[in-house]
């Protein structure tokens, strides 16, 4: 037998030898995934030409990243986020037809059991922050309203914290709510203007960002999950275009189409109608849902 | 500004957007490494097109791998080993001039303080296993003997365990020794025939090997580190070519040039000279060291 037939490894044949060793994998998808991972990993190593010390630094980086993961914290997801991998996987899995609203990352702060509220409710339960009213419509790609759509919203407060990060400081379910559209597809609720915030930056990912000259901030945004029968579920944000970090989201979540307008309104009559004490922020944003493939029009 | 100038991420521009974000990294090497990692990682994701579930499985695989790492166990190094990355890094860092002995992986079982012994010593301290004598020369690439070379050898026993894996069962420093060559560059010592053994296979890497239809075994071998002034340090193995796993080393450590001959000798006179009770194994292997670049010839 020739050396390569015997599975003997060289710098030149490394991809073929390792991939051939996986030939008996029963799961074809696993075999395919491992072929790509092996090839791209070896390509990267051959291009980088790491020293033994650099290789060991990489091993220790991954080890420390793993040690930071627990029930409450997922440092490998953060790593995926700041490398653009999470957004890439999101993009690949959410290619939308023309005209439909774009998706972005879910993030770690969604909770499944937020209360369903009547339209117009104020999801700010502690009266902290600048008042804001948000309204718009949920439409299909032909511009028709989607009735019975469920809008699940959550956001950080005026200091950049979610309720689950400040248990005992913020009320439970602060700045969360679930709303259901009527026949007009319209939605509206009251809240406070969200603020930018850092992703957790006291671990390996934070150290990496510092070494790369990057900040850990996400620009101010509201999270949404929109569900309706016959439509693809949409997980997305809307962003404040005037946020100082709008062009440098640490996790690459911003898309042009997700920039809303945050307008300052100084109108005593409208403020009184909304039960706001003074000037407030107004956001109008329409969501467009894509029909499930094969669903009736 | 255009969307891509604002750092807005799309499936198409993902590599450029993420890499541009690292433009202020102070360390040029880090910047270069991150550029390659980002590009190859995104290429892999675009080719694999993972579902969100597959992405999360990958996150959990890395997390569990990290959790298995402790003072005694390095599951990420095992992962690097079974993906051929460790051997690739070894190959890149040990490109040898023609005629010099080839390197292979260090492995986790070297200990720094093994005793220096007189030539001919028997490194088997517990009389278990089949007797073996190993001899040869340490040469330069011109075939001249290297005097004052230090040969550090360690091996598994006849059951495939190193002393450090069986503390209290094997004597300390069993099957380890350090030898120093004289003017003739020759070396010899006595030992036992080593046996194949599995890499630790009760963790994430072991599960992965099973899913890939792979076994966890390394073919029988002896480890060597060879050091001499004016020469590059050589970390290598010699392998038993008749081992059942010689063509499928779990960590891809085998190279054609590292196959020794293990000859069975049935010669009562020689056995008596070597203080062996009966038939024994004989291995002859010459090591060729490469001169340090720039060292005097």
Is B193 in contact with B201 (CB distance < 8 Å)? no
What pLDDT, in 10s, does the model give residues A17-66?
A: 999 999 999 999 999 999 999 999 999 999 999 999 999 999 999 999 99
Judging contacts by C-beta atoms under 8 Å, the chain B residues touching residue A47 are 36, 40
Measured between alpha carbons, how far is B281 from A218 in angstroms, rounded to an integer? 67
Mean per-residue pLDDT over chain A, rounded: 95
Phi, psi of B141 (to 5 degrees): -70, -10
Determine, for residues A18 and B92 on separate chains, whether the beta-carbon distance falls below 8 Å: no
Nearest to A174 by CA among A188, A196, A153: A153
Measured between alpha carbons, how far is B204 from B208 in angstroms, rounded to an integer? 6
Pick from B23, B30, B37: which is nearest to A44 by CB?
B37
Pick from B27, B47, B88: which is nearest to A14 by CB?
B88
- Distances in Å between the Cα of A268 and the Cα atoms of A188, A274, A280, B13 are 19, 10, 10, 46
Pick from A41, A88, A248: which is nearest to B85 by CB?
A41
Determine, for residues B40 and A36 on separate chains, whether the beta-carbon distance falls below 8 Å: no
b/e for A118-155, b at 16 or more Cβ within 10 A? eeeebbbeeeebbbbbbbbbbbbbeeebbeebbbbbbb
Judging contacts by C-beta atoms under 8 Å, the chain B residues touching residue A203 are none
What pLDDT, in 10s, does the model give residues A176-202?
A: 999 999 999 999 999 999 999 999 999
Looking at CA atoms only, how far is residue B26 from chain A in angstroms? Answer: 7
pLDDT attached to residue B1: 59
Measured between alpha carbons, how far is B119 from B121 in angstroms, rounded to an integer? 6
Nearest to B159 by CA among B151, B169, B168, B149: B169
What's the whole-number mean pLDDT along residues A113-138? 97
pLDDT attached to residue A297: 46
Domain boundaries defined on chain A: 1-49, 81-289
Determine, for residues A31 and B87 on separate chains, whether the beta-carbon distance falls below 8 Å: no
Judging contacts by C-beta atoms under 8 Å, the chain A residues touching residue B23 are 213
Write out chain B's pLDDT in tens, 297 residues: 565 567 799 999 999 999 999 999 999 999 999 999 999 999 999 999 999 999 999 999 999 999 999 998 999 999 999 999 999 999 999 998 889 999 999 998 999 999 999 999 999 999 999 999 999 999 999 999 999 999 999 999 999 999 999 999 999 999 999 999 999 999 999 999 999 999 999 999 999 999 999 999 999 999 999 999 999 999 999 999 999 999 999 999 999 999 999 999 999 999 999 999 999 999 999 999 999 986 554
Q: Which two tokens stand for residue A170?
A: 């913020």
Determine, for residues B42 and A80 on separate chains, whether the beta-carbon distance falls below 8 Å: no
Pick from B47, B64, B256: which is nearest to A36 by CB?
B47
Looking at CA atoms only, how far is residue A199 from chain B in angstroms? Answer: 16
Determine, for residues B247 and A80 on separate chains, whether the beta-carbon distance falls below 8 Å: no
Nearest to A138 by CA among A175, A88, A187, A69: A187
Element (H, E) at A47: helix A28-48
**Location of structure tokens 């001249």:** B144
Number of alpha carbons in the 13 Å side-chain half-sphere of residue B197: 18
Mutate to test the interface with B, among A1, A12, A40 (most CBs of B within 10 A): A40
Determine, for residues A211 and B92 on separate chains, whether the beta-carbon distance falls below 8 Å: no
Looking at CA atoms only, how far is residue A266 from chain B in angstroms? Answer: 30
- Distances in Å between the Cα of A196 and the Cα atoms of A106, A160, A193, B116 are 16, 6, 10, 63
Model confidence at A72, pLDDT cuts 50, 70, 90, reads confident
- Distances in Å between the Cα of B38 and the Cα atoms of A88, A263, B21, B65, B292 are 12, 38, 11, 22, 35
pLDDT attached to residue A136: 98
Looking at CA atoms only, how far is residue A292 from chain B in angstroms? Answer: 17
Q: Is B17 helix (H, G, I), strand (E, B) or coil?
A: helix
Interface A-B: count of C-beta contacts within 8 A: 236
pLDDT attached to residue B296: 52
Q: Please report the ipTM that was assigned to this predicted complex.
A: 0.93
**Third-level CATH fold of A81-289:** Protocatechuate 3,4-Dioxygenase, subunit A (2.60.130)
Pick from B9, B11, B22: which is nearest to A214 by CB?
B22
Q: Which residue of A has its CA nearest to B33?
A: A48
Is A103 in contact with A249 (CB distance < 8 Å)? no
Q: Which residue of A has its CA nearest to B15?
A: A84
pLDDT attached to residue B293: 82
Model confidence at A255, pLDDT cuts 50, 70, 90, reads very high
Q: Which residue of A has its CA nearest to B254?
A: A8
CATH (residue range B98-289): 2.60.130.10
pLDDT attached to residue B97: 87
> Using H for helix, E for strand and C for coil, what is the string for B47-92?
HHCCCHHHHHHHHHHHHHHHHHCCCCCCHHHHHHHHCCHHHHHHHH
pLDDT attached to residue B85: 98
pLDDT at A295 exceeding the cut of 70: no
Judging contacts by C-beta atoms under 8 Å, the chain B residues touching residue A16 are none
Phi, psi of B192 (to 5 degrees): -130, 160
């Amino acid at each position: 037998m020739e050396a390569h037939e015997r599975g003997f490894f060289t710098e030149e044949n490394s991809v073929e030898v390792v991939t051939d060793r996986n030939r008996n994998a029963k799961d074809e998808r696993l075999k395919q995934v491992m072929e790509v991972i092996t090839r791209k990993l070896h390509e990267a190593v051959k291009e980088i030409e790491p020293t033994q010390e650099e290789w060991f630094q990489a091993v220790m980086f991954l080890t420390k990243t793993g040690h930071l993961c627990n029930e409450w914290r997922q440092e490998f997801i953060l790593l995926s986020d700041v490398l653009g991998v999470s957004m890439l996987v999101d993009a690949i899995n959410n290619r939308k037809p023309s005209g439909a609203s774009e998706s972005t990352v879910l993030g770690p702060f969604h909770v499944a059991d937020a209360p369903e509220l009547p339209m117009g409710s104020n999801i700010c339960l502690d009266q902290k922050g600048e008042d804001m009213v948000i309204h718009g419509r949920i439409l299909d790609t032909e511009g028709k309203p989607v009735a019975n759509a469920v809008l699940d919203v959550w956001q950080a407060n005026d200091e950049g914290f979610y309720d689950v990060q400040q248990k005992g400081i913020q009320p439970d379910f602060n700045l969360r709510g679930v709303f259901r559209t009527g026949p007009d597809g319209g939605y509206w609720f009251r809240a406070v203007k969200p603020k930018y915030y850092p992703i957790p930056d006291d671990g390996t990912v934070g150290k990496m960002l510092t070494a790369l000259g990057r900040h850990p901030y996400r620009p101010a945004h509201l999270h949404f999950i929109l569900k309706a029968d016959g439509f693809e579920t949409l997980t997305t944000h809307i962003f404040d275009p005037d946020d100082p970090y709008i062009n440098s989201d640490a996790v690459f979540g911003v898309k042009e189409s997700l920039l809303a307008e945050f307008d300052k309104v100084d109108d005593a009559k409208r403020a009184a109608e909304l039960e706001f004490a003074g000037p407030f922020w107004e956001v109008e944003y329409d969501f467009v849902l894509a029909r499930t493939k094969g669903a009736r029009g």
